């Protein structure tokens, strides 16, 4: 299954990607029991938007050894979690707006594999965890790096409006433990790794999170970023690519 959320004529809908490239509209999100309705639409005639409507994003920090080395070198004993609000969600191909320089002078890209939760998850074991995953997508965990360091915690730096571009689609046709991930800045590869190198796997993360935090249908869990994070500026184009999913592309702009 591969699905998207799309906008047409000022309305949004979820839809299944068909083999011929068209989109079969659904009555609701797949994680809300959506069923096919109406006629397929030409993908070229619509605009893709964020493929989920989460109550929250649970993000994971420091889940690749190489990123830990470039960050602070301190290996955590358990996964580091932080929450990004749903107001941080941004669309594929949409601009990412930088905060005023009085707030932040350095905003970084962080390409990540993310997953969408399919049903309410509380105290889920690792053995059962993948049964609660609707599918996988791409997320750019945009971060105001200087704010992160100044605050001593990560919520404001990573939770600003539009700081979570996500998409362009969701699929259950990949193995989250074995996919390549790369980020390009203006066409140049700046991050390149594989989820083979995750410290905590997707099942382990879901077990750890749901021991104390209930995940709801449509919620997003990110899996951390590999090494190579760096700053973005106005006019830059950032592309995060994950095998079997596609490319999440966004342009960076100044606040008007």
Using a CB cutoff of 8 Å and minimum separation of 24, what contacts does 7-11 make?
7/46, 7/47, 7/48, 7/49, 8/41, 8/45, 8/46, 8/47
- Reading the chain (256 residues) residue by residue, the pLDDT tens digits are 999 999 998 899 999 999 998 999 999 999 999 999 999 999 999 999 999 999 999 999 889 887 777 766 677 889 999 999 999 999 999 999 999 999 999 999 999 999 999 999 999 999 999 999 999 999 999 999 999 999 988 999 999 999 999 999 999 999 999 999 999 999 999 999 999 999 999 999 999 999 999 999 999 999 999 999 999 999 999 999 999 999 999 999 998 6
Question: The domain 2-49: what is its CATH number?
Answer: 2.30.30.370
Q: Residue 102: which residues within 8 A CB-CB, separation 6 or more?
A: none
Pairing of strands 246-253, 96-97: parallel
Q: Residue 150: which residues within 8 A CB-CB, separation 6 or more?
A: none
**Superfamily of segment(s) 57-253:** Fumarylacetoacetase-like, C-terminal domain (3.90.850.10)
The two three-digit tokens of residue 17, written as one number: 């990607």
* Predicted structure pTM score: 0.96
57-253 has the same fold as 2-49: no
Q: For the chain, which residues make up each domain, given as ranges?
A: 2-49, 57-253
């Amino acid at each position: 299954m591969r699905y998207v959320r799309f906008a047409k004529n000022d309305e949004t809908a979820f839809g299944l990607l068909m083999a011929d490239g068209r989109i079969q509209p659904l009555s609701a999100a797949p994680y809300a029991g959506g069923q096919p309705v109406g006629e397929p639409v030409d993908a070229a005639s619509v605009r893709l938007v964020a493929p989920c409507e989460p109550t929250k994003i649970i993000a994971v920090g420091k889940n690749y050894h190489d990123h830990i080395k470039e960050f602070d070198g301190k290996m955590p004993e358990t996964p580091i979690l932080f929450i990004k609000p749903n107001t941080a969600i941004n669309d594929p191909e949409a601009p990412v707006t930088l905060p005023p320089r009085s707030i932040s002078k350095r905003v970084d890209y962080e390409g990540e594999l993310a997953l969408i939760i399919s049903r309410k998850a509380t105290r889920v074991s690792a053995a059962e965890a993948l049964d609660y995953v609707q599918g996988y997508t791409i997320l750019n965990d945009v971060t105001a790096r200087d704010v992160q360091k100044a605050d001593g915690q990560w919520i404001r730096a990573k939770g600003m409006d539009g700081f979570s571009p996500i998409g362009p689609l969701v699929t259950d046709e990949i193995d989250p433990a074995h996919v390549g991930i790369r980020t390009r800045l203006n066409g140049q590869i700046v991050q390149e790794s594989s989820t083979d190198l995750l410290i905590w796997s997707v099942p382990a993360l879901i077990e750890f999170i749901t021991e104390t935090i209930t995940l709801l249908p449509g919620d997003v869990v990110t899996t951390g970023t590999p090494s190579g994070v760096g700053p973005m500026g106005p006019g830059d184009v950032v592309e995060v690519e994950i095998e079997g999913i596609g490319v999440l592309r966004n342009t960076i702009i100044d606040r008007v």
